[in-house]
Amino acid sequence: MEPSSLSLATLFLLAAVSLFSPSDSATCTSQTFTNNKLYAFCNDLPFLNSYLHWSYDSAQSTLSIAFIAPPARPDGWVSWAINPTSTGMVGSQALIAFRDAKGGMTVKTYNVSVYGPLTESKVWYEVKESTAEFSGGLIRLFATLVLPEKGKTTVNHVWQVGPSVTGGVPDKHEFQPANLNSKGNLDLLRGQSGGASGGDSRTQKRNIHGILNVVSWGIMFPTGIIIARYLRTFPSADPAWFYLHISCQVSAYAIGVAGWATGLKLGSESKGVTYYNHRNIGIALFALATVQIFALLLRPNKDHKYRFYWNIYHHGVGYAILTLGIINVFKGLNILQPEQKWRDAYIIVIAVLGGIAALLEAITWTIALRRKRKTKNDKSTKA
């Protein structure tokens, strides 16, 4: 690979490692409530800009909570739930707060037994009281629960926010990383709330998947195409351009396959969550790139009668990979939703590569026209 392109890819890879560095936020300890109620513990939850306050009476098995979060949209909803059987959404016993038809706030209970439309129902615990309020862009959900299992001091909890309510029924939430990872375990007596063991692992795999694919399909493949298209114009670069091109594309393919495999693993671990367009383009990229790699074994000599057709096939597949790769990188960024500066950084990288390609295109056309003119003059002189 050309040294300059290797440096560019390496710098982008190192920068991308910090894509998901957490940002500073307000803490729950500074929050107060209009009812002046006090709680024994409070935690800043790691996702969805949310907070949980609670007190637990082990003798009565009574849990009082205040859950605070901004809804996905002003007319949306927020939810806090306990899952007595698992760590995810399915099986959770949820409290959901939203604005009712009269404009006031209501809290309803839902046994989330399946993915799909929610139906109000009784839940695993008894709800002694529940209220909600909306102010300052935040919904505050208050409830007092009686847990059926006395002596159980650690529970799996799930929290969520949604964009809207239709006909008194909360609509589905988004399936972004923050939504999918909003779960953990809650120690009622020690005041500790930890992320679910699988959440951090999945987030790390998503980050690795994104970084690998940005570097391979999004940077190295375009760089390899630029090398092949423009350096071959200069006789002094032959055959160095060919080996640079092959090295770049084979390396990009290896990294891309690793990213593709990580994506398949993520898909198998995310039942009910599928990004169809992103997945299908990824499969197409893998198939086309594999065919392109096999082109090395089928490459005929320059004077072979089939070389013309091989060039059409090789160039066509290459430009298809270039186009689909960049499209899928942006689809992946839409899914991962990193900070805007990282999206801007990738746009700058692509713009720089595009500018280099445009400049080299002009140079190669100038050289080609001069050579054509010189050849024509030589023929005229001989004639």
pLDDT per residue as tens, the chain (383 positions): 444 444 444 444 444 444 433 333 456 666 777 767 888 888 888 889 899 999 998 888 999 999 999 998 989 999 999 998 888 788 889 999 999 888 899 999 999 877 667 888 899 898 999 999 998 899 999 999 999 887 788 899 999 999 999 988 898 888 888 888 889 888 888 776 655 444 455 667 778 898 999 999 999 999 999 998 888 888 888 889 989 999 999 999 999 999 988 888 877 765 555 678 888 999 999 999 999 988 888 888 888 888 888 889 999 999 999 999 999 999 988 877 777 888 899 999 999 999 999 999 898 888 878 878 877 776 666 65
Cβ atoms of residues 125 and 145 within 8 Å? yes
pTM of the model: 0.54
pLDDT at 11: 43
pLDDT at 270: 59
70: Cα separation from own chain's centroid: 21
- Angle formed by the axes of helices 340-382 and 3-16, nearest 10°: 170
* 196-49-33-127 Cα dihedral, nearest 10 degrees: -40
Cβ atoms of residues 288 and 342 within 8 Å? no
φ, ψ for residue 229, nearest 5 deg: -75, -35
pLDDT at 30: 62
Question: What letter would DSSP give residue 89?
Answer: S
pLDDT at 347: 93
278 is in an annotated binding site: yes
pLDDT at 23: 38
304 is in an annotated binding site: no
pLDDT at 338: 75
Counting Cα atoms < 13 Å in the Cβ hemisphere of 381 gives 6
Number of C-beta neighbours around residue 364 at 10 A: 16
Cis peptide before 300 (omega within 30 of 0): no
Compute the C-alpha angle 161/49/348, nearest 5°.
100
- In order of 67, 74, 79, the CA distances from 48 in angstroms are 12, 15, 11
Q: Terminal CA-to-CA distance of the chain, rounded, Å? A: 45
